[in-house]
Amino acid sequence: MVEFGSSGFSMPLGGSAYPAPPHHFRGAEQAWATYEADREAVATMLPPGVLADSDPPVCATWVCWYPWTTFGPYHEAFVMVRVQVEGVRYWYQPVIFTDNEIPLTAGREIWGFGKKLAVMRWDWGGAAAGGLRAEQLMFTAERPAGNRILTFTMAMDRLAEPDEVEGLPVLSLRYLPPSDPERAPAAAELVRLDVESTIRDAGALGLDLWAGRASVNLSATSAVDPWHLFAPVRMIDAFFAVSDFSLPLGTVVKDYVAEGHFEPYRSPAS
């Protein structure tokens, strides 16, 4: 008899899709912009007990190119909302895209990141499209191909200091629906992730951390991918960094099933 966990950390049994954390990232390139968004729209995407920590709420849209990771290389884009749960402040992540199936699988199964596959492009100044180079980073995400969900642009203006960036633990909702109609969800947890990150040294320039001007366009309305609910109302700041970091296992800070928030599923026909 094969014991669970004896032949790998994850499914499929005997051919694990990914190993146990921590998962490592080298030379990760990430840009993000923080801004104020619409209070009522953002509130529709927050789980019970998770509240925006300001009015209007503060959101951050991140775009990422990971040239080397234990999952392989991939792109990623996500939105985070600055929230508080029982007096503790976090960045809560409600929506996220990737273009690699292994980090998608691991992200959903381990931490509860609601990853979906999308078509993404990370481009410095239009060179990838055969155009002239410009001073801006441009990132696009389409889902499905041709339906532009996100357009992010940024120009790097100056070197930044680490204390300009507010570091908070990341919060996600790990929800596993029931496999039996008589049972509650297999999991409905708020998971805290503390990321161990080091910004790379750019030599004589210091740390490879930059501040600049960014634009975030989330104007496409999609009932399937409602990123438009996090559209900017007023921009605050923007940063770009090259870093190394690791993703460990998380910590459950709230268990909705144990608290009785979820009852057995009943189909609309029952």
| Residue-range domains of the chain with CATH | 23-174+191-249 (2.40.400.10)
pLDDT in tens, 218-240: 989 999 999 999 999 999 999 99
Strands (E), the chain: 23-37, 51-52, 58-66, 68-69, 74-85, 88-98, 115-117, 119-124, 136-142, 148-159, 170-176, 187-193, 196-199, 209-217, 232-247, 251-255
Give me the chain's average pLDDT, please. 92
Of the candidates 90, 207, 115, the one whose C-alpha atom is nearest the C-alpha of residue 160 is: 207
Report residue 200: phi and psi, to 5°. Answer: -70, 150
pLDDT in tens, 86-142: 999 999 999 999 999 999 999 999 999 999 999 999 998 766 666 666 789 999 999
pLDDT in tens, 34-69: 999 999 999 999 999 999 999 999 999 999 999 999
What's the pLDDT score for residue 264?
63
Examine the pLDDT at 209 and tell me if it is beyond 70: yes
Q: pTM score, two decimals? A: 0.92
